[in-house]
Amino acid sequence: MAYLLIVEDDADFASAVGTILEKQGHAISFETDCGKTIDRIHERRPDLVILDVMFPENDKAGFQAARSIRRTFGELPVILLTAVNQSFPLGFSSKDLDPTWLPAVDFVEKPVDFALLSRKVSDILAHEKGTAGSLS
Amino acid sequence: MREPPDAVSADSALLPPESDESILRRHEKWFCSMRWLAIAALAALGVIGLTAKALVAPLGFHLEPGWPFLVAGVLLVLNAAYLLMARRAERSTRHAMHDRRGLWVQIILDLAAVTVVVHYVGSVATFAPFIYLFHIVMACIFLPYAQSLVVTLAAMGMYLTSLLLEGTGVIAPGSVLDRNAIPQPVQAWHAGAVMFVSGTVWYLASRLANALRQRDKRLSAINRRLVAATEERAGHMLSTTHQLKAPFAAIHANTQLLLGGHCGPLSIEAVAVVEKIAVRCEMLSRGIKAMLQLANLRSAAQDTPSPVPLDVSAVIRACLAGLQPQAAKRGIVFEEELSPAAVKAVQDHAAMIIENVLSNAINYSRDGQRVSVSSRAKPAGGAVVVVRDSGIGIRPEILPRIFDDYFRTTEAAAHNHASTGLGLAIVRQSALAGRIGVRVESAPSLGTVVTLDFPSSPG
């Protein structure tokens, strides 16, 4: 079982995602304020952060949070769960495809395909576990 | 299926107005083309003087080959130099300055060449001085009022100077006409007539050109406002539509929860209701996606992704895989004839074009029909993709409107209720961005053929 942090301003959507991932056996925590992401991670470090991009205060708050996570917590994996991507680049630039500029391990597009999201979460957690195992 | 007779291309769009600099550069190249014709005419005159002097002599012509070859040679060197400078200027950042200076150098040297030609053809014995009128009229068309007057005065100044030099005996008067057969006209009268006609032509042509220029400027200003308004509308549409996407994402997510049994068992009636909600939500999400794609393509503020090397056949295969469930539901079978074809294009744009064209072919086919798709590389680079269906087709009078936003024919709306009417607008916008040719041929009840012409690179 892993601990996942979902940072999403739409509580209804976050709750639906959380329900699915809980059924997968994970512990879930929610945060609706993107600005509090770093504090929440400090409180309890998750195995994976699922992060929205557009927040009411800033269209690119999720991008900024992903960069802050990389700076503060190194390789902590982040999935961007968003309607913003290269096809719909509201505030998205081609630079955002560069992993050193936007440190997200994956994008999952809204409306979300839960089967796809569940598979990606499992793959990333398995990869993280494998990497941690090889290091120890 | 026989070849559908009616066709339309996706090349009409609201384009930004052409800049003065680009208009000037385009005209500069045209001037060079016209000058090649003048050089050819002078060379031909030289050849006649060289080889057929005796033949034209009985007609009263006295043609020396030296001066036509000399003027043609000088113009040839100058024209080559102008073209070289124009090409270099295109690559530099100082276009406008070069174009202005280069244009005036060309005008002055052209007028000097015309003066030499007029002198040798006959500045008082022939109608040669009226050659100046070509330059005066062109100056009126392409240059502002005051500058066209400067060109006219320069032309008349050079002509009067040559007359003065001839009159004072500094240079001997020349003429292609046999001076024994033609009586000497009065120099002052002839010069006056040339000046009067040139002045009148300048006045009329410059007034007319000025009126046209003013109207062109007004139209350009209106067009600029229209382009700005379109961009603003696209920006608003992008933002508003994006905000719409979030609630639908939440509805969609919750219907998935219910249908997946994550919130406990549902009655059969409840499943049927939630399925209806899910279907309508999916339709609306598809519409929102199309609106976002279109708004994004039209928004100048957005960062355009870079073109990357692509195999068009691989893009088609990916689109076919995505559309397979949609086709299978209606028993529609794909016939593929895909050859690898390398192009450079924006991945998303290429995929959006092909996906929309294939999706239309499925949507407007009848159940159980076949949709064929082929790709091939062009010998000179680029690729051609042809998507052919045998569906309901499009009436010829409707064909020119199919790329309009939200346009759906009555037949199309009746055949496919879920259509957004934005598919071909997205195709047009993506195709314009990538310089991809789109040709649609169609005939009612026979079907539609869409041909996509990918350049090797969008340039």
Chain B nearest CA to A96, separation (Å):
11
Chain B nearest CA to A94, separation (Å):
6
User: Over 80: is that where the pLDDT of B418 sits?
Assistant: no
* pLDDT band at residue A89 using 50, 70 and 90 as cut-offs: low
Q: What are phi and psi of B81, to 5 degrees?
A: -65, -40
The CA dihedral of B264, B279, B242, B434, to the nearest 10 degrees, is 130
Q: Are B270 and B335 within one domain?
A: no
Is there a contact between B348 and A94 if contact means CB atoms under 8 Å apart? Answer: no
Angle at alpha carbon of residue B212, lines to B211 and B217, rounded to 5°: 100
Residue B182: predicted pLDDT = 47
User: Over 80: is that where the pLDDT of B8 sits?
Assistant: no
How many domains, chain B?
Answer: 3
Residue B291 included in any domain? yes
Chain B nearest CA to A15, separation (Å):
9
What distance in Å separates the CA atoms of residue B376 and residue B334, rounded to the nearest whole number?
Answer: 17
Residue of A nearest to B248 (CA): A111
The one-letter amino acid at B73 = G
List the single best residue of A88, A109, A110 to mutate versus B (max B Cβ within 10 A).
A88
Burial class (CB in 10 A: 0-12, 13-18, 19+), B264: exposed
What distance in Å separates the CA atoms of residue B68 and residue B117, rounded to the nearest whole number?
Answer: 8
List the single best residue of A86, A90, A94 to mutate versus B (max B Cβ within 10 A).
A90
Structure tokens given for B383: 């690729």
Q: Which residues of chain A does B355 touch, with a Cβ-Cβ cutoff of 8 Å? A: none
Q: Are B33 and B169 within one domain?
A: yes
Superfamily (CATH) of domain A3-112:
Response regulator (3.40.50.2300)
Q: Which residues of chain B does A108 touch, with a Cβ-Cβ cutoff of 8 Å? A: none
Residues of the domain holding B285: 231-298
Other CB atoms closer than 10 Å to residue B346's CB: what's the count? 20
Q: Which residues of chain A does B352 touch, with a Cβ-Cβ cutoff of 8 Å? A: 87
**Mean pLDDT for chain B?**
83
Report field, pTM of the whole predicted structure over 0.80: no
Q: Do A112 and A81 meet the contact criterion of CB atoms below 8 Å apart?
A: yes
Residue A134: predicted pLDDT = 46
Q: Are B283 and B318 within one domain?
A: no
Residue B374 included in any domain? yes
Q: Are B279 and B377 within one domain?
A: no
Q: Are B105 and B248 within one domain?
A: no
Instruction: Give the strand order in the sheet containing A48-51.
Output: A27-31, A3-7, A48-51, A78-82, A106-109
Q: Are B347 and B293 within one domain?
A: no
pLDDT digits 0-9 by tens, B372-409: 999 999 998 899 999 999 999 999 888 889 998 888 88
Q: Are B339 and B431 within one domain?
A: yes
A13 inside 8 A of chain B by CB: yes
Measure Cα distances from B309 to A32, B297, B344, B358 in Å: 41, 20, 4, 22
Q: Are B34 and B161 within one domain?
A: yes
Residue B210 included in any domain? no
- Max distance between CA atoms of chain B, in angstroms, equals 116
The whole-angstrom distance between residue A74's C-alpha and the CA centroid of its chain comes to 14
Q: What are phi and psi of B174, to 5 degrees?
A: -110, 155
Closest CB from A20, A87, A111 relative to B249: A111
What distance in Å separates the CA atoms of residue B139 and residue B151, rounded to the nearest whole number?
Answer: 7
Is there a contact between B303 and A89 if contact means CB atoms under 8 Å apart? Answer: yes
A28 inside 8 A of chain B by CB: no
The one-letter amino acid at B155 = A
CATH number for the domain spanning B373: value is: 3.30.565.10
Spatial neighbors of A125 by CB under 8 A, at least 6 apart, are: A2, A47, A48
Q: Are B276 and B257 within one domain?
A: yes
Residue B60 included in any domain? yes
Residue B331: predicted pLDDT = 94
Q: Are B312 and B414 within one domain?
A: yes
Q: Which residues of chain B does A17 touch, with a Cβ-Cβ cutoff of 8 Å? A: 253
What distance in Å separates the CA atoms of residue A105 and residue A125, rounded to the nearest whole number?
Answer: 11
Q: Do B386 and B374 meet the contact criterion of CB atoms below 8 Å apart?
A: yes
Residue B167: predicted pLDDT = 78
List the single best residue of B236, B252, B258, B308 to mutate versus A (max A Cβ within 10 A).
B252
B62 inside 8 A of chain A by CB: no
